[in-house]
Amino acid sequence: MKKLILFLVVGSFAVTTFSSCKKKGCMDPTATNYNSKAKKDDGSCLYKPFITIIGANDTTINVGSSYTDQGATATNKDGSSVTVTTTGQVNSATVGDYEITYSATNTNGTSTAKRTVHVIVGLDNWVANWVVSSDCGAAFPLNSAPTISISGADALTIDGMFSISIPSIPIILPDGLTIASGGTANATVNGATITVPNQSYDAAGVGTITYSGTGTMNATGTEFTITYTYNNDLPAIGGSGQCTATYTKQ
């Protein structure tokens, strides 16, 4: 009986001693004074400010569009506000990835948060008033002022593709033939890249121009070039080859 009582006393002492020896400290991993060895939270946790970005922290805009940053807010653990400092800026006039950093400081340290703004060439950037210059010549007679419009999720049409004037040819075309502008080209775009798939234009029933092309828009969305491959069987101005056209935004 005495042995049993002694065992119970020793066991009770061991449990009490073990409980009293539990290491106390901050057990929240998000706190600045987090103690990974603590077994019991003692309410001592300290926190840097909590930053909330207003709007999306990853956003995309078209080059040339306006951008106004929505900023961020910061609070302490108790909900009181903290001043936010913003650094970095977005150049919406040039394609690129831009980073805005928000910082807030209290007695426990400084917190930061970041927003990334992607400035890209989007579908809308292709729709504008363009003036065309090229080295294509009469064999691929491009109109100097075509009309580009959106025709699908990634598709464009170029109306008034050609401006054709066929010289007078005795017997065949005694008075010549002038087509002020004509033809509708189909194109697809993928970001800054434009592709004109193989297609043809029947010029007033006297001949056909078959062509295709690829090109890219510059980083400011103000100019793009297309290299065309063509075959033209119109009388007097026919021929085949490659040429480059530059479209400049007005």
- In order, the DSSP letters of the chain are -HHHHHHHHHHHHHHHHHHHTPPEEB--TTSTTB-TT-SEE-S----PPEEEESS-SEEEEETTS------EEEE-TTS-EE--EEE----TTS-EEEEEEEEEEETTEEEEEEEEEEEE--GGGG-SBEEEEES--TTS-B-SS-EEEEEETTEEEEEEEEEEEEPPBTTTBTT-EEEEEEEEEEEEEETTEEEEEEEEEE-TTS-EEEEEEEEEE-TTSSEEEEEEEEEE--TTT-EEEEEEEEEEE-
The reply to whether 104 and 140 lie within a common domain is: no
- Please check whether residues 227 and 146 belong to one and the same domain: yes
| pLDDT score, position 179 | 58
Task: Kindly state whether residue 27 falls inside one of the protein's structural domains.
Answer: no
For residue 58, tell me if it sits in a domain. yes
Considering the domain architecture, whether residues 111 and 134 belong to the same structural domain is answered as: no
Q: Do 138 and 228 reside in the same domain of the chain?
A: yes
Assess if residue 93 is contained within a domain.
yes
Q: 68: domain range?
A: 45-120
Indicate whether 22 pLDDT > 90: no
User: Quick check: is 225 in a domain?
Assistant: yes
Domain assignment present for residue 34? The answer is: no
- Position 126 scores a pLDDT of 98
CATH at residue 167:
2.40.128
Q: Do 161 and 101 reside in the same domain of the chain? A: no
CA 233-238-241 angle, to 5 degrees, is 100
208 found inside a domain: yes
Within-domain flag for 163? yes
**Same domain, residue pair 225 and 199:** yes
Q: pLDDT value at position 229?
A: 98
Nearest to 153 by CA among 113, 179, 118, 124: 124
Last residue of a domain, one of 66, 97, 120: 120
Residue 170 has pLDDT above 80, yes or no: no
What pLDDT score was predicted for residue 181?
A: 66
Q: In this predicted model, what pLDDT tens digit does every residue of 37-55 receive, in sequence order?
A: 999 999 999 999 999 999 9
Residue 16 has pLDDT above 70, yes or no: no
Of 164 and 71, the structure prediction assigns the larger pLDDT to 71
Q: 9 pLDDT exceeds 80? A: no
| In the predicted structure, residue 4 carries a pLDDT above the cut 50 | no
Q: What are the pLDDT digits (tens) for 97-121?
A: 999 999 999 999 999 999 999 999 9
pLDDT at 19: 46
Of the pLDDT bands very low, low, confident and very high (cuts 50, 70, 90), residue 235 is: confident
Task: Output the average pLDDT for the chain.
Answer: 89
Instruction: Name the percent of the chain lying above pLDDT 90.
Output: 79
How, if at all, do strands 177-190 and 130-134 pair?
A: unpaired
Q: What is the pLDDT of residues 124-157, one digit of tens each?
A: 999 999 999 999 999 999 999 999 999 999 999 9
pLDDT for residue 177: 59
Q: Would the pLDDT of 175 be above 80? A: no
Residue 135 sits in the same domain as residue 74:
no
| Secondary-structure breakdown of the chain: helix, strand, coil percentages, each rounded to the nearest 5 | 10, 50, 40
pTM for this one? 0.81
| Structural domains in the chain (count) | 2
Share of the chain above pLDDT 70, in %: 85
**Confidence band, pLDDT 50/70/90 cuts, at residue 180:** low
